[in-house]
Structure 1
Amino acid sequence: MNCPNFVRRGLLPAILAAASMTSVVEARQLSYATGYAPGSIGADAAEAFASDVKDHSGGDLTAKVYAQSLLSFSEIPPGIRDGMADSGLVLTPYFPSEFPSTNLATELTMLIEMTDAPTEKAGLAFAGAMAEYVFFNCPSCVKEYKQQNQLFLGGGGTSSYFLICNKPVSTLEDIKGKRLRIGGAQWARWANAVGATPVSVPQHETYEALSQGVVDCTVHSAPELTIVKLMEVTSDMTPNMPGGVFSGVANNINADVWNSLAASERKTMLHASATQASALSWGYAQAAAMNMATARDLKEIEIHEPDAALVEATREFIEQDLKAIATKYADTYGLESSAEMVETFRALLTKWVGLVSDVGSHEELTQLYWDEVYSKVDVDSYGQ
C-alpha cells in the first residue's frame, strides 16, 4: 500500500538522520598519550598525528590527544601495554631493559658528527634512519616491542645538542674539570673522555642549576633555550660540540588495537606516524634555527667555535665509543649481533643524511618518510 505524501515527507528525513547517526557510531576514536605539555613541539606533533588520522581515513578513524594528562612519559609504555591508552609516544631510553635493541641505536646519535650533515638536518636524518632500522633491519626491536604488547609505528629526532654555559668553554683545556649537565649515556661517556664531569640533573631543574653554578654547562638542544628559558641564564654557547641528537622516541600502538584494525586503517596509522615524525623533527629544527638567531643578536651571549683539539678529541671518542656501545649491549643485554647492528645503523644514517639534504619543508619531509619507509611496511604481516 502506498504511503501518504505527508508520511513519506516525514519518514525520509528520519531515515537520513538514522543513517547519519549510524555513521557516527561506527567511527572509531583511539586515544593517544604524550608526556609533552600542551603547546610544545611534541604536543603539536601529536596533534598533527591526530589530524592526519582523521584526514587519511576520511573521518572513519580518529585520535584524541592527551598531552601531559592521561599518562606521564614514565607511565606510557605500561599504559599502552595494558590498554590504558591505545597509542602514544614512548621515550625508550627511560626503559633500558625493555627496549635494548632500539636503545643501542639511540646511543649512536653522535655518529651524525662523522657525516657531512648540516646541524639543522641532523634530527631529520636520524629520524628517518631510526624508522628504517626498526621496521626493516632490527627484528629484535620489533620483538621487544611485541613483548610489551605494542608495536613501533615511527619516531623522530631533535636538533643537535651543544654546550650552553655560564662561562667560555670552547677548547680542550677549557672543558677539563667542568661540570656538565648530561641527558644521555653517550654524552656522559664523552664528558669523561674529554676530562669533564657528567652531572645528572632533571630538565626542569637545569635553569636553576646553571644559574646558581651547580653546573658550568648543560648539553641541550637549542629549543630548550626557550622551552626551559636557558637563554636567561647563559652567557656562552659552543654550537656543534659535542653534537648528536635525542632520538629515543617511539610512536607506539597497542598490539591488540593494531590487530583489530583493517589493513586500510593500519596504513592510516602509519601515514599519520610519518606525519608525526616529520612534525616533531621539523619542529625542533625550526625552533633551533629561530633560537640561535635570537641568541646571536643578544649582547649578553657569546657564541664560540670549538677549537681543533676539542673537535679531534670528540671525533676520536665517537669512533672508540662505537665499540664500547656494541660491547655494552652484548654484555648487559645479550645482543650477540650488537657489532653488526652498529654497522647497519651507521650505513642507514649515512644514507639518510643524503636523503634529507634537499628537504625544504615539513610537507616534503613527510612525503620522504612515507615514500622511503612507512609506505613499505607490510601491514598484513608486521607485528604478527
Structure 2
Amino acid sequence: MRDRAATVPVRRRVAGLALPVVVMMLASACLAVSDAGSSAGGEGVSAGATKPEYQRVFGGVEPIELTLQSPSSPGVGGSVHIEAYADALREWSGGKLDVEIAYANAIAGPDDAPSALADGRVDMDYLYPLYEPSRFPANGALAKASLLGEHGPVAGTLQALGAYLETGMSTPEISDELSYEGIRMLLPYGPTTSLALMCTEPRDSLAELQGAQVRVSGSAHAVQAEALGMSPVSLPYSEIYEALQRGTIDCAMGNGWSNGPLGIVPLAPHYTIDADTGFARLPFAIGFGQAEWESLPLVARQLIHDRLDVYIERMLSDYIWPAMQEAAGQMAEHGGEFNDFASDVERPLRETNRELLDDVRNSKALDGERFLNDVNAALEKWKGIVEEMSIPAVPDAEFAGWYREGRIDLDGFMERIRSEVLHAHRPR
C-alpha cells in the first residue's frame, strides 16, 4: 500500500484544504444529482457511449489517480465487484483512470468513511448513513422505508434494488444532506438482501425471542427488536464474531452473504426470516469525495457514473448470491436451518413497522407522505419488471438448491437499471 499522503496529486490536496468553502457553496446551491449546470469541464459522451467513444475523449485527458476502498481482502467475495468496477474504469478510460484499491478498510473504518471521503483520504467508499440517523435524517427515512416490498432473496432483492435506487436518486434531500458533508452520492442504495435473525439456537416465537441479546445495525432495527422482546446491542460488525463466541449476544440481525465471510454462520446457524413481514433492510450508499468530484473532467465523472452498472451486477452475481449458497452449506454443517417466525411474532412486528412508516411520514427532512407514495409506486413498478423477466420468487430456504447452476440472467434487469435509473442522473 502506497503512502496516501505522499502520492495524492497536488490538486487533490488543495481541494481538501478548501473543503469548508466547498461545503458552504454546496449548502447554498443544493447541487442536483445530475450535475446539470455544474462547472464540469471538457468534452463528454452521450448515454450508452461505447468503449472506443470513451477512450477517444479520454485521449485528451491527463492521468487521474483514484482510490477506492474495499472492506475485504483481494480476490474474495467482498472485493470482487469492486475489483471488476476498478478494471472497467481503467479499461474504458484507456488507462487514464489509475485506480488503486485500499483493501480491508485500510484507510478508514465504516464509521469514519464520511470524513475520509470529505477530506480526500479516499475517493470512493461504502457509506452507512443509518449509523447516524440524526446526521443523515433523509437517508434514515430511506432506511426505515426499506422494510417495504417483498423479502425473497432473488425477486424481492431485485424489486427492492430497482425501487430504492429509483426513488432515492429522485429525492434530492437524500443526496443534498451528503453534499453538505462534502460527499457526492453515487448510489443511495446498494445491492442487498433482506435481513434475518441469525441465532445460536432456534428462536422463532415471542417466548424464545424474549430477552435475547441481538446485534443491530440501526435505529429501525433496534425498534423492531424491542417490539419482539429482544434487547438490541450496537456493535461494529468486526466485533460480532467475538460477541457470539463469548455469549454476550445471542443473535445478529443480518444475512448469510455478509456474515459468512466474518465467520458468523457456524456460530449462529439458525436463520429465521419472514418473507411477508420483514425487518428494515440494511441499506448502504456509495459515496465519492465532493472536492475530488468537482475537480474531475466531465468524461471521468460520466464514466465513474455509467460503469456503476458493473459494480451493481457483479455484486449480485459474484458476491451476494454465491455467498448465500455457501452460507446455506455452512448452516447445514453446523446443525442450523431456515425457519419462519411463529404466528405470534407477526402482529407486534406489523404494528412496529407501521410506526416506523409513520415516522417517515412525519419526517422533517423530506416530504414523508410523498416519499412513501413514490416508494410504493416504484416497488409496484419493479415488481412488474421482475415478473416480466420470469425471475422466480424463491424463498430463502430453497435458494441454495435452486441456485446450483450458479447464475441468474441479469441482462434484462440491468438494461432497465441503466435506462430508467442511471441514465436519468448521469453528469452532463
TM-score when normalising by structure 2: 0.72
* Unaligned runs of at least 5 residues, structure 1: 1-21
Match of residue 101, structure 1, among 118, 138, 148: 138
3-state SS of 2:110 partner: coil
Match of 1:314 in 2: 349
Mark the CA change 1:130 to 1:64 in structure 2 (over 3 Å): closer, same or farther.
farther
Residue of structure 2 in register with 1:111 after alignment: 148
> Residues 285 and 186 from structure 1, CA distance in 2 versus in 1: closer, same or farther, beyond 3 angstroms?
farther
Q: Hey, what does 2:193 align to over in structure 1?
A: 159
Q: How far apart, CA to CA, are the structure 2 residues paired with 1:46 and 1:245?
A: 25
Deviation at 1:373, TM superposition (A): 0.8
Report the Cα distance in structure 2 between the residues aligned to 1:214 and 1:237, rounded to whole angstroms.
Answer: 19
| 1:87 corresponding residue in structure 2 | 124
The code of the aligned residue for 1:342 comes to L
Alignment coverage as a number of residue pairs: 349
Q: How does 1:174-193 map to 2 (within 5 A)?
A: 174-193=208-227
Map 1:293-332 to 2 at 5 A.
Answer: 293-295=329-331, 297-298=332-333, 300-327=335-362, 330=363
Partner of 1:352: 382
**1:48 is aligned to 2:84:** yes
Partner of 1:57: 93
Cα separation, 2, equivalents of 1:141 and 1:38: 32
The equivalent of 2:10 in structure 1 is none
Q: Which structure has the bigger radius of gyration?
A: 1
Q: Work out the CA distance in 1 between the residues paired with 2:282 and 2:306.
A: 19
Q: Secondary structure at the match of 1:230?
A: coil
Q: What amino acid maps onto 1:147 in structure 2?
A: Y
Query: Which residue does 1:7 correspond to in 2?
Result: none
- Deviation at 1:364? 5.0
Equivalent residue, structure 2, for 1:342 = 372
Give the conservation status (yes or no) of the 8 Å contact 1:181–1:199. Answer: yes
Indicate conservation of the 8 Å contact 1:156/1:247, yes or no: no
Per the alignment, residue 164 of structure 2 pairs with 130
Counterpart of 2:6? Answer: none
* Partner residue, 2:207: 173
Q: Is the Cα contact below 8 Å between 2:195 and 2:282 reproduced in 1?
A: no
1:119–1:240 Cα contact (<8 Å) kept: no
Calculate the TM-score normalised by the size of structure 1: 0.80
**1:187–1:53 distance in 2 versus 1, CA, 3 Å:** same
Amino acid of the structure 2 residue aligned with 1:103 = G
The 3 A distance-change label for structure 1 pair 36 and 144 is farther
1:141 is matched with 174
In structure 2, runs of 5+ residues without a counterpart are: 1-57, 392-407
Q: Which amino acid aligns with 2:87?
A: S
Q: Do residues 66 (structure 1) and 114 (structure 2) align?
A: no
* Per-residue deviation, 1:182: 1.6
| Alpha-carbon distance in 2 for matches of 1:340, 1:273 | 27
Shift in Å, 1:365 = 4.6
Instruction: Flag the 1:299–1:27 CA change in 2: closer, same or farther, 3 A.
Output: closer
Q: Deviations over 1:86-119 (max 9, x none)?
A: 332222223434432122102222213xx3x523
Q: 1:164 & 1:250 partners in 2: Cα distance?
A: 24
Amino acid at match of 2:86: A
CA distance in 2, matches of 1:356, 1:172: 34
Judge conservation of contact 1:251–1:273 (CA < 8 Å) in 2. no
How far apart, CA to CA, are the structure 1 residues paired with 2:73 and 2:413? 24
State whether structure 2 residue 65 is matched by structure 1 residue 32: no
CA deviations on 1:183-214 (whole Å, 9 max, x unpaired) are 22222111111222222233233223333432
Q: Secondary structure at the match of 1:352?
A: helix
Counterpart code for 2:424: K
> Who is 2:405 aligned against?
none
* TM-aligned CA distance change 1:35 to 1:246, over 3 Å: farther
Q: CA deviation at 1:51?
A: 1.5
Report how far residue 37 of structure 1 moved.
4.3
Residue 11 of structure 1: aligned partner: none
In structure 2, the residue matched to 1:369 is: 417
Cα shift readout 1:278-300 (whole Å, capped 9, x = no counterpart): 333442233113322442x4362
Percentage identity across paired residues of the two chains: 22
CA distance 1:260–1:322, change in 2 (3 Å): same
Alpha carbons of structure 1 residues 63 and 272: separation in structure 2 relative to 1, 3 Å: farther
Alignment of 1:251 with 2:281, yes or no, is: no
- CA–CA distance in structure 2, aligned partners of residues 245 and 37 of structure 1: 28
**1:261 counterpart = 2:296:** yes
